[in-house]
Amino acid sequence: MNKDLRINRIYNFDELSTMVQDDFLIQFEDDLEFNKNDYLFCLRKISYKKLLEDYDIILGPNLVDEINDEYTTNLAMDIKTNGLKNPPIGSEGAHRCLAHLYLQEDLLWFEIIKKKLKGKKINFRGFMKKISDWL
């Protein structure tokens, strides 16, 4: 991960890595009125405990299977060896979240903040809801 990233700092779109930008843009590919410059991004740290609680609510008894899935464990080993290359953003990054659960580590995640709706954010609970729709 970029060592210049700081927790709780606000970033503009152009300050994000190309991979994080791509993860963000894919979430709005069907929105014809979307403008990437209408958003800011805040890097947050989510505790392992909160991550576990939220995923337990969403996945329930399937959580253990999802954490121990081969793709997730391989990703977890890559993160352990090489570090997290790109923090999740918005609803993108469910496998990175599961990998951090496997490692029992806190997670860095980009919160999306819409500039025109001050105070309106895509919070972690909203992120978890979107993930539950496709897991």
- Give residue-wise pLDDT tens across range 47-62: 999 999 999 998 999 9
- Specify the 3-state DSSP secondary structure of 71: helix
Residue whose C-alpha is closest to residue 10's, from 49, 50, 39, 53 = 39
Over the chain, what is the mean pLDDT?
Answer: 86
The distance from CA 117 to its chain's CA centroid, rounded to whole angstroms, is 21
10 CB-near residues (< 8 Å, 6+ apart): 40, 41, 42, 113
In the numeric block, which tokens belong to residue 123?
């919070």
- Rounded mean pLDDT of 85-103? 92
Per-residue confidence band for 31, with pLDDT thresholds at 50, 70 and 90: confident
Q: Three-class SS of residue 70?
A: helix
pLDDT over threshold 50, residue 134: no
